[in-house]
Amino acid sequence: MLRVEALGDWRIAALSAVDGELRALAGRKIEAERAVIDFSGITRFDTSSAAVLDRTARLLEEKGLRVEFEGASDAQRRLLDKVDACDTPDRPKSPPVPFYIEIVDRIGATMRDMGEEARGMLGFVGAVVSAIGRTVANPRRFRFVPFVHHMEKSGFDALPLVCLLTFLIGAVVAQQGAVQLRQFGAEVFTVNLIAIIFLREVGLLLTAIIVAGRSGSAFTAEIGSMKMREEIDAMRALGLDPMDMLVIPRVMALTVTLPLLTFIADLMGLLGGGVVVFFMLDMSPGVYLTRVQEAVDFWTVAVGLIKAPFMAAVIALVGCRAGLSVTGSAESVGAMTTRSVVRSIFLVIILDALFAMFFTAVGI
């Protein structure tokens, strides 16, 4: 058995000689199975002494000896335990992941998140449809005042912005179309370009994107703030259904107002194009209206208006669900508001593409 007796003052100022002796001891060949370090003769003890003795014990253990501490007080043992815990070696660093593996991992994580989001959205749509069914069965559940309020906020208040932007876009489309068609001597067909593009696609898409950025984000922020302040929990405690109070009025209001906004946006786009045609092509308003009537039939107008309620429902559902998904922080409100706008615009464009393929397939 190897016995090491520690005597006297064991502080950092007096450790230089002892440290060398302990290193030499640990480096020698030792014919023993057990080592005992006796603390009973120590008068003063600090962290540096604990580190030196703990290092000595580890070196002896590496030689195959079983090390024991003898005569140590509770304070000395606690200090040794702390030093031993801090002296745990760092875990070896794992090799870097190959770049292609990281790409595949991110793609997989994104697909998984998209699947979970699609499943959650499908469940939310089912809950909204169920709430609408209860409202139809019992019309007294419908909140008419919030419905009118949200029609004003998402419809009438958005009218100036929609009119201005669609007027300008109509003018830009007409100007660019006239410049390009003039090269072929077909500038008279600028009217056909404006009418078909605006009535079928641009008027609705531009209006839906404006509404998604304006009203969809407002739905998320309003409901998210109520969720953060636990007002929705208070509604449930009072026996009120948040679907009836918050979601259904917003969905119905936007479903009604977006087709109306689309119709006005189409008119403003035609008006903007007519102003440019009047100045660039010297075409009178009467001739312009005649050309519009010749270029447009019933389905040209109906296609845009048919798509509007579906896009409105998508924008409202995404905005309301994002608001209900807010956690208890203001940062979450901002993050979900941004996410709702991005998802709404993405789904609106996807929905428009699907409708375009459908109408083309049926010959409309």
pLDDT, one tens digit per residue, over 319-351 is 999 998 888 778 888 889 999 999 999 999 999
pLDDT at 17: 66
CA distance 8 to 220: 72
pLDDT at 93: 63
In which region does residue 201 sit, left (phi positive, over 0), alpha (psi from -120 to 50) or beta (all else)?
alpha
* 67 vs 121 pLDDT, higher one: 121
The gap from C-alpha 72 to its chain's centroid, in whole angstroms, comes to: 57
pLDDT exceeds 60 at position 139: yes
pLDDT at 1: 67
CA distance 147 to 245: 10
Q: What is the percent of the chain where pLDDT is above 90?
A: 41
Which among 325, 355, 351, 350 is positioned nearest to 338, based on CA atoms?
325
pLDDT exceeds 90 at position 161: yes
pLDDT at 254: 94
CA distance 335 to 352: 26
pLDDT, tens digit (0-9, with 9 covering 90-100), for 209-242: 999 999 999 999 999 989 888 889 898 888 888 8
pLDDT at 274: 92
pLDDT, tens digit (0-9, with 9 covering 90-100), for 282-313: 888 999 999 999 888 888 899 989 999 999 99
pLDDT at 79: 74
The DSSP-derived string for 140-154 is: GGS-HHHHHHHHIII
pLDDT at 69: 74
In which region does residue 352 sit, left (phi positive, over 0), alpha (psi from -120 to 50) or beta (all else)?
alpha
CA distance 185 to 182: 5
* 262 vs 57 pLDDT, higher one: 262
CA distance 76 to 44: 10
pLDDT at 256: 94
pLDDT, tens digit (0-9, with 9 covering 90-100), for 75-95: 777 777 777 776 555 556 667
pLDDT exceeds 80 at position 13: no
- The lowest-confidence range among 61-65, 149-153, 354-358 is 61-65
Q: What is the mean pLDDT of residues 115-123?
A: 90
Domains and CATH numbers, the chain: 2-86 (3.30.750.24), 142-361 (no CATH)
pLDDT at 289: 92
